[in-house]
Amino acid sequence: MIISVCILALALAADAFAVSLSQGVVTRERPHATALMLGGAFGLAQGIMPLIGWSAGLVMTAAIAAYDHWIAFGVLALLGVKLIHDGLKGEIEASTKRVTGWSLLVLAFATSIDAAGAGLALGALEAPPLLAAAIIAVITAIACAGGVYLGRAVGAKLGRAAELAGGGALFAIGVKILWDHGALAAL
């Protein structure tokens, strides 16, 4: 369960990591402050959004109990395909300036919307939601802070590969949920 949550966290962090890479490319001054700021904002957003998704799932639990694993697979598969599509579409577009303030909050929210959808899958993963959210937040924060430094060192070339790997990981977690619930045997 912990390994699945860590893989989920890495996959969810792919968009935020890509943004952090692009910010690393354009950050000329105060890279440590940028790494802390991006890691904190993206980590917090990625940690809160799965709890929102999980809470919404609780409201619907009785209605979807018989096929929750299919819903979890569908959500994760769609998110995975979206990440793969985005990764194949083209390279990261680096902005020309460092993001701060409201721009950073909007980016943090935008890159964490998929985490709300993944929060619906936490029940199928049988993961304690607070622990899962904390793991997702910490892994995202570390990935984003590292992304700033990596972006400074090697540029934006890794962002595309991160999205492809993240998409594949989300899809694989969805398949694992189906496997764990015996749903694949029925096919």
pLDDT in tens, 12-45: 888 788 778 778 877 777 889 989 999 999 999 9
Tell me what pLDDT residue 62 has: 63
Residues 6+ apart with CB under 8 A from 75: 117, 118, 120, 121, 174
pLDDT at residue 96 is higher than 60: no
Residues 6+ apart with CB under 8 A from 103: none
Single-letter amino acid, residue 13: A
pTM: 0.70
4-26: b or e for each residue (b if 16 or more CB lie within 10 Å)? bbbbbbbbbbbbbbbbbbbbbbb
**For residues 152-178, average pLDDT:** 70
* Residue with tokens 């802390």, as numbered in its chain: 36
- Domain limits, the chain: 2-180
**Sign of the dihedral defined by the CA atoms of residues 120, 9, 16, 100, in that order:** positive
Using a pLDDT cut of 70, give the percent of the chain over it: 78
DSSP-derived letter for residue 98 is -
For 105-146, what is each residue's pLDDT tens digit? 887 887 787 788 788 777 777 778 899 999 999 999 999 999
CB burial of residue 126 (10 Å; 0-12, 13-18, 19+): exposed
Q: Which residue would you say has higher pLDDT here, 82 or 137? A: 137
Tell me what pLDDT residue 108 has: 84
